[in-house]
């Protein structure tokens, strides 16, 4: 079973958002 490219892209976007949010948190503290 292989994920649909759209699902993979969605996971990447979500992961990237979490990383950027964490970086903003680190910069703020």
pLDDT (tens digit per residue) in 6-27: 999 999 999 999 999 998 888 8
- Size of the chain in residues: 29
Counted domains in the chain? 1
* Six token digits for residue 20: 């950027």
Please spell the DSSP secondary structure of 11-26, one letter per residue: HHHHHHHHHHHHHHHH
**Residue 27: its pLDDT value, please?**
81
- Quote the domain boundaries for residue 23: 1-29
In angstroms, the CA 17 to CA 25 distance is: 12
pTM for the full predicted model: 0.55
In angstroms, the CA 24 to CA 12 distance is: 18
């Amino acid at each position: 079973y292989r994920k649909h490219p759209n699902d993979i892209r969605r996971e990447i976007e979500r992961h990237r958002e979490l990383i950027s949010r964490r970086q903003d948190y680190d910069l703020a503290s």
